[in-house]
A and B are shown apart, each in its own frame.
Chain A
Amino acid sequence: MTDTFDHRSLPEDELLAAEYALGVLAGADRAAAEQRIARERTFARLVAEWEERLAPWTAEIVEVAPPPQMWDRIAVALPAQAQGGGLWHSLTFWRGFSFAAGALAAACLTALIYLGSITQQQPLVASIEGGGHRHFVATIDARRGTVAVVPAAFSADPTRVPELWLIPADGKPRPVGLLRADETVTLTLPAEFAAFAKGDAVLAVSLEPPGGSTTGLPTGPVIATGKLTSL
């Protein structure tokens, strides 16, 4: 077999960068390449150049619209931006804000309970889904301020617990409580969040260390979400 290839070669680093960009490395080789990308600018540059060379190949890949609830899942999973600044990121501001908002919400809740008792408000339900499966079904009784959550096809993970979050229109998750994979849990909706439990809000479930998130925001992956709708 004749080979017209002229055997010009490339430096070892450049070949390694190309192999990484192609995706063919595994295990320790892939991990070592990733460490070099993080530490060595020149090597990271070589990888970026190979990514650029191969990128036009992805034009072959057909675009597929993700499911409609995908953005909500992502929004819930976003951590606070570490390098960001300003009022939005000030913990002191949020503490003050949540205190003020809490007082306001408590006042609203009182009004809501009163209104609920006279209008016989309908319960809100959400089918909490992710990865093509329904994980939980939640029913909010705004009149009583409770959330009943029934596990559907949630498989337990011994190291992490499912935690329920309420995300109103502002996109900021509020912790509601921990769920169980094997039985229905009825949680009391914190009074300051009750006003958020309406048709435009989303319920989400994240996986957290035992005892739940200690930061007030999801720390683990958000595995399922569902929009609240009136029955």
Chain B
Amino acid sequence: MDLDANRSLIATALGRIPAGDRAALQTVYRLTSAKLFGVCLRILGERGEAEDVLQEVYVTVWRRAADFDASRASPMTWLIAIARNRSIDRLRASRQNRKMDPIDAAAEIADTAGGADSALESAQERARLHGCLDGLASHERAALRGAFFDGNTYEDLAARMDVPLGTMKSWIRRALIKLKACLEQ
């Protein structure tokens, strides 16, 4: 589907939710649930948990749709942030029984350019972010990936990459500073 058309369909439907329009929420669900379920599943790694969290995500959308400001944010970004945050909350709550594999930064494949779908994000923005991520050192990129896609905390990342916690914090913070500088160029 055309990117702008899709974006405005989602934004319009979100705008109707605060009045209690269930059909509008169902429209948002129809247009976005596969993406948001993918996000929950990626972070949680388990279907049952991802289903529970997906339910919480749309209940949150229902409750908080009035907070969405179409003039300032992209609807998909707003929805994905809710899905990521609810998934991370769930992950943090059940973290003790989770096993994590070590991250080998050297083995980290530099290919960050692959995109599974292009329907909801502009190709230009994606290319720019990936260009900037490619400009980071491989250990920095690996640490950011672990946080973003696996929901890892500083402690998790320090353990997985076998470095002291303080080192991990400065890696991530430096990577974020570099990323912003690059994106603003």
Q: B7-15, B45-53, B100-108: which one contacts chain A?
A: B45-53
The answer to whether A118 has its CB under 8 Å from any CB of chain B is no
Interface size class of A (residues with CB under 8 A): 35 or more
List the B side residues contacting A71 at CB < 8 Å. Answer: 26, 29, 33
Interface size class of B (residues with CB under 8 A): 35 or more
Q: Is the CB of B125 within 8 A of A63?
A: no
Instruction: Decide: A53 near B39, CB < 8 A? Known: A71-B26, A78-B62.
Output: no
Q: Is the CB of A22 within 8 A of B147?
A: yes
Q: Is the CB of B121 within 8 A of A59?
A: yes
Which B-chain residue is minimally distant from A52 (CB atoms)?
A: B77
Q: Is the CB of A55 within 8 A of B74?
A: yes
List the B side residues contacting A51 at CB < 8 Å. Answer: 77-78, 80-81
Q: Is the CB of A25 within 8 A of B19?
A: no
Q: Is the CB of B22 within 8 A of A62?
A: no
- Residue-wise, chain B 118-130 has the 8 Å CB interface mask toward A (1 for contact) of 1011100110111
Report A78 CB to chain B, min CB distance, Å.
5
Q: Is the CB of A10 within 8 A of B177?
A: yes
Q: Is the CB of B114 within 8 A of A132?
A: no
Instruction: Decide: A70 near B76, CB < 8 A? Known: A22-B144, A81-B62.
Output: no
Chain B residues in the interface with A (C-beta under 8 A) = 17-20, 22, 25-26, 29, 33-35, 37-39, 41-42, 47-49, 51-52, 54-56, 58-59, 62-63, 66, 72-74, 76-78, 80-81, 84-85, 88, 92, 112, 114-118, 120-122, 125-126, 128-130, 133, 144, 147-149, 151-155, 157, 172-174, 176-181, 183
